[in-house]
Amino acid sequence: MTSKRSTATVATLDNGLEIILKPGHAAPVASFWIFYRVGSRNETPGLTGLSHWVEHMLFKGTARYPHGDFDRAVSRAGGMFNGMTWQDWTVYFETLPADRIALAIDVESDRMANAIFDPEETELERTVILSEREGSENNYFYRLQEDVQATAYTAHPYRHPVIGWKVDLHEITREDLYNHYRTYYTPSNAIAVATGDFDAAAMLDAITKQFGGLVSGPKPPVVRAREPEQQVERRVQLRGEDPTATYLQVFHTPAAKHPDFFPLVVLDSVLGGAKGMGLFGGSANNRSNRLYRTLVESQLAVDASSSYGPSVDPTLFSFSVTLAPATAHEAVEEAIWEMIGEVQRNGVTAAELARAIQQTKAQFAYSSESVTNQAYWLGFSEVVADLDWLDNWMARLAAVTSADVQRVAHHYLQPDRQTVGWYIPL
């Protein structure tokens, strides 16, 4: 049974697997994704980093695709593949020449249930993940960001890094990983997304045939943790050998489905500029926004950005700054508060609202060129909200008024709701 939404065809199998299909025939390629509703959000102290490590283990083989067979098969077919883990989701995808997309469906249905988790492979992957973490630790801004996050949240699992704390990565066992896999990797906790050059009915048949026989599985445990309202300002100071000073300031803000989400997206766009809709992209030209004018044009900083993204649970709105050599952190902080105060007093201009709309329109058009980007947006939208939320994105953005932006700036950007991190060169 399928239904047609404006952007996609959706269906749900008897075992609970959600399916989202969006055919498009602009290029002879197709992309297939499986999103699992599991990420660092579902982890508990002592077992942080489980979701990401499980993701690595799904590249270590099944009986049908022993270690190395899967990646060789996709490469041989002229495809690309990856796995990614975030707070709210874990995802696997393959993008292939369209006539070879069946390979992706076969691989993903197989490893949803049959990954081996060989004990020896598990140990080898421990050092690989430690190496991944240590590569990030080479960067002081990464370390600052990790500590700011752990300070901003006191109770909610968004407080710990997706890759996990090093102490936990040393202790996690094969059984911990396998249990996590069996708990969350079920059809009823997953979403399959296909985009590109195929016929929707044939694609639905192929997915149903491969995934339909998998056992639904028990419902995974609900995440009950709620972050208590922050009532005191929090501060983190990190010192180190890198001579470049940086700054990170975060505020608690609501989740994707909250009515204030779209006013906050506009606030982010007005303050920090256009955001790309690609997997890893941002817009390259971003100098007319308020943050850039406040910090970079004034030569207090050489780089400044803001960020606010969709999530299942309440998240953080952030300002990141790379300071100019002679600048004190206090001066950056003062300038940001002056900028915030201006929006709180006077809202934003009609031209800024129009620009946010136009930039988003362009980003949607760019993103429509790539089946990989389209599938990513469809899948994560369904995880953090639903497809209507994505379909109505432009309309809801266009409905945001200056008064809305002024209100959310006033409500969420308050000193008592902030956590401020300074990286200070020794």
Supply the minimum distance, in Å, between the C-beta of residue 40 and another protein.
Answer: 18
Q: Which pair of tokens denotes residue 103?
A: 């390979």
Q: Which pair of tokens denotes residue 399?
A: 């409905």
Q: By CB under 8 A, is residue 96 in contact with another protein?
A: yes
Supply the minimum distance, in Å, between the C-beta of residue 209 and another protein.
Answer: 25
Q: By CB under 8 A, is residue 126 in contact with another protein?
A: yes
Site for another protein in 139-178 (CB under 8 A): 139-140
Q: By CB under 8 A, is residue 67 in contact with another protein?
A: yes
Please tell me the distance from the alpha carbon of residue 187 to that of residue 202, in angstroms, as a whole number.
Answer: 20
Please tell me the distance from the alpha carbon of residue 104 to that of residue 115, in angstroms, as a whole number.
Answer: 15
Q: Which of the ranges 72-80, 187-195, 219-227, 330-338 carries the binding residues for another protein, by CB under 8 A?
A: 72-80
Identify the helix (H) or strand (E) that includes residue 357: helix 350-367
**Whether 17 contacts 204, CB under 8 Å:** no
Q: By CB under 8 A, is residue 83 in contact with another protein?
A: no
DSSP line for 127-180: HHHHHHHHHHHTSHHHHHHHHHHHHH-SSSGGGS-TT--HHHHHH--HHHHHHH
Q: Please give the C-alpha separations between residue 426 and each of 237, 240, 324, 417, 421, in angstroms, as whole numbers.
A: 12, 5, 16, 29, 15
Q: Which of 102, 225, 279, 302 binds another protein (CB under 8 A)?
A: 302
Rg (CA), the chain: 22
Provide the H-helix boundaries in 247-349.
261-272, 290-291, 329-346
Window 325-364: contact mask with another protein (x via CB under 8 A): x----------------------------xx--xxxxxx-
Residue with tokens 């199998």: 13
3-state secondary structure of 190: strand
Supply the minimum distance, in Å, between the C-beta of residue 218 and another protein.
Answer: 33
Supply the minimum distance, in Å, between the C-beta of residue 366 and another protein.
Answer: 6
Q: Which of the ranges 104-112, 183-191, 294-302, 308-316 carries the binding residues for another protein, by CB under 8 A?
A: 294-302
Choose between 1 and 426: whose C-beta lies nearer to another protein: 426
Q: By CB under 8 A, is residue 59 in contact with another protein?
A: yes
User: To the nearest 10°, the Cα dihedral for 43, 48, 49, 50?
Assistant: -50
Q: Which of 62, 85, 322, 374 binds another protein (CB under 8 A)?
A: 322
Q: By CB under 8 A, is residue 324 in contact with another protein?
A: yes
**Whether 272 contacts 306, CB under 8 Å:** yes
Q: By CB under 8 A, is residue 370 in contact with another protein?
A: yes
**Whether 188 contacts 19, CB under 8 Å:** no
Q: By CB under 8 A, is residue 237 in contact with another protein?
A: no
Closest CA to 176 of 323, 54, 266, 344: 54
Residues whose CB is less than 8 angstroms from the CB of residue 24 and which lie 6 or more positions away in sequence, other chains included: 195, 196, 197, 368, 371, 374
Q: Which of 71, 110, 227, 391 binds another protein (CB under 8 A)?
A: 71
Choose between 95 and 189: whose C-beta lies nearer to another protein: 95
Q: By CB under 8 A, is residue 398 in contact with another protein?
A: no
Supply the minimum distance, in Å, between the C-beta of residue 14 and another protein.
Answer: 34
Positions touching another protein (CB under 8 A) are 26-29, 59, 67-68, 71-72, 74-80, 95-98, 123-132, 134-135, 137-140, 240-244, 273-274, 283-288, 296, 299, 302-303, 322, 324-325, 354-355, 358-363, 365-366, 368-371
